[in-house]
Structure 1
Amino acid sequence: MFCPKLRMSIKLRNVIGYVNDFNHMITFNKQPRNEHLQLRWQSPISNFCTQKLPKTADIFGDISGRKFEHFKMDEREQEEEKFQDTEARIPRRLKPSPGGYAKMIKSHLSKKDLNSALKVLDLIKENRDKPTIYLYNLLLCSFAKQGDIKQCLRLYNKAKKQGLQPNAATYTTLFNACAVCDKNEIALEHLNRLRQLLYEQKFPLNETHYNIMIKAYSWHNQIVEVFKLADEMRDNNIPIRESTYNSLLHGAISDKEAGLRHSLIIWHLMRLKKVNPTLTTYNLLLRTIRDTNLGNLKLDDILISGWEKSRITLKEGERPDLLASPPVLSTLLLTKKGQEVTQDDVNSKKEIESTNLNDVLFNNRLILFGGMEGFLNRMAYCKVKPDIKTITLLLYLIPNSVQAENLLIAAADERNIELDIDFFNMLIKRRSMRFDYKAAKEVISMAEKRNLSPNVMTFGVLALGCQERREAEEFLKGMEAFGYKPNTIIMSTLIHTACHKKNFEYLLYVMIYMMKNEMRPNTQAVEEVEKFSKELSNIKKPTGKYRLRKLKRLEKNIEKFEQQYLKWQKMIEDKNNSSRN
């Protein structure tokens, strides 16, 4: 074996060197015996002589016809050799650097142009450069945000074929793609497969990996797997921090029947481990209070096994708060035949112990957690300032009354929380749904005092309050004054109200407005008017005083409607024909 720094004393009378054009060269000088030869090593040879050199090696051409052993190149080597022979090399100074390729990809991604970002990989190949795993991670991250698992897996496999080693960020991105994917079966299939692959490879999973897996399983309603992963973290001595508890709360939200029970367990575990909740924690907690139930939770249950402070206790006259340590339930919320129960009554005590807290939760969701004031005070104690999302979530949970709503707005003002137009839109809808249209209109002045301008959604919820033709007319004029054009959803809302009230004047006004402005009605509006037309014969005839006058007016309204309805149908037919063409 040759070595560059080794000088060997070769005891040969004659040494013949030869040059392999591709691989190997030996430089020699013919010298007397016992003299040293200098050998210069270039690169490993691919052809090896299988016969000894002849003794008459000084004769030119005598070694021709010698047998050499040839090693056949594999397919990739052949492609590489062909590429080297046929393609011209681009000078390094004319090609982007690895950082330059990354900037190109980021530029395309910032413009939401994923196809152009992918083409950068083709450019790298044309320039005969090798991509890095960082470049692949950039692309993976963008497709993961869209939940495009198939494209992510294509890129992942392509990177491996090019000899690139996926890193921790690569797997985090793949898990996130599974989380965002809206197809449960496909997402869970790839999620389980990827998880099993990492277990088999003994890949060191870190806190981020577990958190994103918990998120993925929770978003696909796999609450059992969520808590299994939390146990796995504990067994592997991976710290469970606030971010992990928040991921667990995400999982609890997916269980509509018992998610609130899970959330209470998670909350009290945080208190036991002295993990400080953040704004995200409180907002997720409000979501579980709004969207989930307590399952089979009963009074005197212990939320965390072995920790007495997590036992639900019943106290007379105290404000209920299941977030306290220990969690407190008030006798004021438990009634028997309309009367408050007491712990002194033996029969009442037995009934209390068997009470399912879901029955109490039904009308007291926020009250069970300290009420609006108690919840906000708890946040202040933890030095967490609520945001607009917190206030919006509380709006769903407070009593459905103007007084409670005004108290919530006042609480937001006290904490310097800027309310946006979306909050007031929700407030308008909330008041309109309980038919308090006057209070709904008052919300507009509240928004104006905060220099907030209405948007399309504002007019959409205001349309719910238009109960008469005059109100609808004022509404549409006001909308135009703000520079907005009513959409089909708004017009459908007005048509629904007019048909429901059997108000001919109102309905004809809306139909004429739509035909005049060439507005194509949506399916719901078409069905509403068609149903109204079929029920004309069933309209109750007027009775009592001025019966004949009212009957004549009804007949005239029916005649007007039938005339406009023919025009309405023709407009729909013309719109359908034009869309086909």
Structure 2
Amino acid sequence: MSKILSCGILRLFRGNTRLSNKFLKQHKIWNPKFEKQYQTQIIANSKFKFDLENHNIRSEIRDKEYKPSNDPDTFGGSYCLSDESDDADDLKEEEYIKELPSRDKETIKYARCIKRHLDKRQVKEALDVLEVEMKRDRIHPDRYIFNLLISGCAKVGYTRKAFKLFFKMKQYGLKPSGGTLTSLFNACANAPTISDGLAKANRLREIMIESDLQPNEKNYNAMIKAYGRCKDLSAAFQIADEMREKCFLIQTETFNFLLQACASDMEFGFRHALLIWHKMKRNDVRPDIYSFNTILRCVKNCSIGDLESMYDVINDIINKSKNFLKEGEGELKVIASNENGGSCVQTSESNTNISSATQTDLVLPKEVFYANDVPNLLCSNPHLGNLIKINEIRKPEDRLLLIGGFSGFLREMKFNKVTPNIETFTMLLEVIPSTNSAEKTLISTIKKDGLKADIDFFNTLIKKRCLRFDYDGAKEVLNMIKSVKLKPDIFTYGILSLSCKTKEEARELLKNMKQRDMSMNTQILGAMLNQGCRNQDFDYITEIMQIALDEKIRPNEAFLCHLSKFNQQCAKLVNVRHKISKSLEFQRNYKKFREHLHMWYEENGISGLTLEEQIEKVKRNPYKKFKEKTKADENDTVKKKKIRKHIKNVKLHDLSINENKEKAEGS
């Protein structure tokens, strides 16, 4: 009884040490250990320091210990001086008080649980910790919990949930930190749709202005990243200007995000990237590996735009370069030698303004020439070499030539003391000429630099050979993968599906996937379906449709377009009475195909709809994967199983058996 009462009174007067000590002394249940313990606790929790010697309450017998008497008539027991130690109950009481869980300890426990789920990309389970477990235990989340969940949702592109957590955080009265804003803009950058990401980014900027939230450098970089990926280049550059106005130092990371913004502009991104690159050079900001890799992405995806503007950009780059000297009047000017050892010679009659070329042929001035004939608009001394016209630059390999080509690009990296990684060579593989000799040169350079190719590099090599219809060369890459002790992944088989021209090859590929416990997807079946439609192989097409049903793979837009286009082509042949349509084999196969197509549409719930309506219906909610499967969806699956009775059931493990039967019938 004494123990319980003293513990309760100490809790009651925890906020007022003087009152609690006085109360306990008057009722003779005083223990100086409690005084020392709670004084220490008050000091630890206080923002200010004070001296214990000036405290009004001081025990005159601090070094003595008390032992309660055994008189049952005395309330709380009378205490007398004793040299003996505390009894077992007092020790247990002290241990119990020390082990009382605080709110911070509880929050840390939930935070660690959330981090474990996020490390495994289990977003739904991490959200359940906040929405189910903490709500059940009546634990109020703090800002750290919300920042963890917002950051986790941002990484996987769960943009809507990230903003819902942000608004819920404000309802709890928690002020967002700089990390909160950075995660929210990252959520906008990783949004599944550009429109959704852009709308959320604009709304967040409005909230920051209304709440007078001043962004820091990381916030600005995240804003540039978000607007760049959402293809709003003007907003991205305005934010960069705002950084400079507020005296923020524009560093390599900011320029890299600006280059990412340029890569999102498919029409004018290449020339924007050149301007940003030389702006970085003039500001004495050294590029890093991400800068060079982003330039290669611009080379791959972006065109040069209209020719007149491109000439203006080239003229601006050359005139503003550090080693470029203006032409003199009536004399010959020798410009400083470039890094490749070549020197530029220019006559007084030459016109340095490239934009003054005629608009009909847009020919670059021939008077400017270099010892090195390869153009390079990326180096410190940008030049065009022996390039006369740029109106035929359309392919990525042509744009790579403008920045020095394969060897010139690597020399520029070496000049800036940047070591290429395997990602650099993977992106170079996508922009070099599509020839075996160019690929061998690149592979030998990788071996010379001591780098080890990863599976992404080999996947790119397979894709490059498949796109030039070198299917045998693409299959040879599998031996290369095996020689470096790597294993094919789902992307490897997805790219190899482009080479499956017959159903036998498709069966072999699906059989290998099953042996490696890899499940097929819509992209793989769509690539096979495309090959079957090109070759007008009705059996191949029907089999792919059946596999999609058996594996419960919903079609995507490309899958539906392939089927619709093939059906229209066959109907057109019949309408115009083409000689192919007059054969009995074509008529029989086309009739079976139409029957299978009608039942396949019914199975997927898109029968009687136009192509646009079908595409709209099969479109998936990008946020659906973050949610649990509803009971309604499970009931729909059961109903679909009952409908399927007219279509032949083909299982993957029966593919090899069916293949042997067909061979036997043919013999």
Question: Is the TM-score greater than 0.5?
Answer: yes
Does 2:318 correspond to 1:318? no
- Looking at structure 1, the residues matched to 201 and 503 of structure 2 have their Cα atoms a distance apart, in angstroms, of 56
Alignment of 1:493-572 (within 5 A): 493-502=527-536, 507-508=538-539, 511=542, 519=550, 524=560, 527=564, 530=567, 534=571, 538=577, 540=579, 555=584, 557-558=585-586, 561=589, 565=593, 568=596, 572=600
- Looking at structure 2, the residues matched to 160 and 497 of structure 1 have their Cα atoms a distance apart, in angstroms, of 54
Does 2:386 correspond to 1:373? no
Residue 364 of structure 1: SS of its match in structure 2? helix
- Looking at structure 1, the residues matched to 504 and 414 of structure 2 have their Cα atoms a distance apart, in angstroms, of 48
- Looking at structure 2, the residues matched to 420 and 277 of structure 1 have their Cα atoms a distance apart, in angstroms, of 25
Q: In the superposition, relative to structure 1, how do residues 518 and 221 fare at CA in structure 2: closer, same or farther (>3 Å)?
A: closer
Does 2:310 correspond to 1:297? yes
1:64-114: CA deviations, max 9, x gaps? xxxxxxxxxxxxxxxxxxxxxxxxxx9995545414313313313432213
In structure 1, which of residues 203, 213, 216 is the aligned counterpart of residue 223 of structure 2? 213
- 1:225 is matched with which residue? 235
Q: Greater Rg, structure 1 or structure 2?
A: 1
The letter of the residue matching 1:114 is A
Alignment of 1:105-504 (within 5 A): 105-111=111-117, 112=122, 113-119=125-131, 122-123=134-135, 126=138, 131-148=141-158, 150-185=160-195, 187-199=197-209, 203-295=213-305, 296-298=309-311, 301-303=315-317, 309=323, 314-316=368-370, 318-331=373-386, 333-334=387-388, 357=390, 359-360=392-393, 362=395, 364-467=398-501, 471=505, 475=509, 489-502=523-536
Q: In the superposition, relative to structure 1, how do residues 515 and 373 fare at CA in structure 2: closer, same or farther (>3 Å)?
A: same
Offset at 1:285? 1.1
Identify the range of structure 1 (245-254 vs 140-149) with the bigger mean alpha-carbon deviation.
Answer: 140-149
- Looking at structure 2, the residues matched to 533 and 177 of structure 1 have their Cα atoms a distance apart, in angstroms, of 46
- Looking at structure 2, the residues matched to 174 and 473 of structure 1 have their Cα atoms a distance apart, in angstroms, of 45
1:452-493: CA deviations, max 9, x gaps? 333343333333334456655655565566565766654554
Q: In the superposition, relative to structure 1, how do residues 321 and 196 fare at CA in structure 2: closer, same or farther (>3 Å)?
A: same
The letter of the residue matching 1:410 is S
- Looking at structure 2, the residues matched to 183 and 562 of structure 1 have their Cα atoms a distance apart, in angstroms, of 39
**Relative contact order higher in (CA < 8 Å, ≥ 6 apart):** 2
- Looking at structure 2, the residues matched to 160 and 179 of structure 1 have their Cα atoms a distance apart, in angstroms, of 22
- Looking at structure 2, the residues matched to 139 and 366 of structure 1 have their Cα atoms a distance apart, in angstroms, of 42
Residue 384 of structure 2: SS of its match in structure 1? strand
Offset at 1:185? 4.8
Question: Structure 1: which 5+ residue stretches go unaligned?
Answer: 1-22, 28-89, 336-356, 543-550
Answer whether contact 2:580 2:586 (CA < 8 A) is retained. no
In structure 1, which of residues 93, 104, 108 is the aligned counterpart of residue 110 of structure 2? 104
Answer whether contact 2:529 2:544 (CA < 8 A) is retained. no
1:427-474: CA deviations, max 9, x gaps? 222222222223222222222222233334333333333445665565
- 1:78 is matched with which residue? none
Offset at 1:243? 0.8
Q: In the superposition, relative to structure 1, how do residues 566 and 105 fare at CA in structure 2: closer, same or farther (>3 Å)?
A: same
Offset at 1:568? 4.5
TM-score, normalised with respect to structure 2: 0.59
Question: Structure 2: which 5+ residue stretches go unaligned?
Answer: 1-15, 23-95, 326-351, 355-367, 605-638, 644-667
Aligned-residue CA RMSD in angstroms?
Answer: 4.1
Offset at 1:273? 2.4
1:526-554: CA deviations, max 9, x gaps? 54775576477556369xxxxxxxx9xx6
Answer whether contact 2:150 2:165 (CA < 8 A) is retained. yes
Q: In the superposition, relative to structure 1, how do residues 165 and 484 fare at CA in structure 2: closer, same or farther (>3 Å)?
A: closer
Offset at 1:381? 3.0
Q: In the superposition, relative to structure 1, how do residues 513 and 310 fare at CA in structure 2: closer, same or farther (>3 Å)?
A: same
- Looking at structure 1, the residues matched to 511 and 401 of structure 2 have their Cα atoms a distance apart, in angstroms, of 43
1:218-260: CA deviations, max 9, x gaps? 1222212222222222222211111111111122122223222
Q: What percent identity do the matched residue pairs reach?
A: 32
- Looking at structure 2, the residues matched to 570 and 227 of structure 1 have their Cα atoms a distance apart, in angstroms, of 52
- Looking at structure 2, the residues matched to 462 and 251 of structure 1 have their Cα atoms a distance apart, in angstroms, of 32
- 1:86 is matched with which residue? none
TM-score, normalised with respect to structure 1: 0.66
Answer whether contact 1:221 1:254 (CA < 8 A) is retained. yes
Q: In the superposition, relative to structure 1, how do residues 367 and 469 fare at CA in structure 2: closer, same or farther (>3 Å)?
A: same
- Looking at structure 2, the residues matched to 184 and 370 of structure 1 have their Cα atoms a distance apart, in angstroms, of 34
Offset at 1:291? 1.6
Offset at 1:496? 4.0
1:372-392: CA deviations, max 9, x gaps? 122122223333222232122
- Looking at structure 1, the residues matched to 272 and 445 of structure 2 have their Cα atoms a distance apart, in angstroms, of 29
Answer whether contact 1:334 1:360 (CA < 8 A) is retained. no
Answer whether contact 2:545 2:600 (CA < 8 A) is retained. no
Q: In the superposition, relative to structure 1, how do residues 468 and 327 fare at CA in structure 2: closer, same or farther (>3 Å)?
A: same
- Looking at structure 1, the residues matched to 475 and 485 of structure 2 have their Cα atoms a distance apart, in angstroms, of 16
Offset at 1:369? 0.8
1:128-163: CA deviations, max 9, x gaps? xx6533233223323333555554444444444544
Q: In the superposition, relative to structure 1, how do residues 222 and 570 fare at CA in structure 2: closer, same or farther (>3 Å)?
A: closer
Answer whether contact 2:528 2:544 (CA < 8 A) is retained. no
Answer whether contact 2:151 2:183 (CA < 8 A) is retained. yes
Offset at 1:206? 2.0
Q: In the superposition, relative to structure 1, how do residues 490 and 286 fare at CA in structure 2: closer, same or farther (>3 Å)?
A: closer
- 1:351 is matched with which residue? none
Q: In the superposition, relative to structure 1, how do residues 132 and 569 fare at CA in structure 2: closer, same or farther (>3 Å)?
A: closer
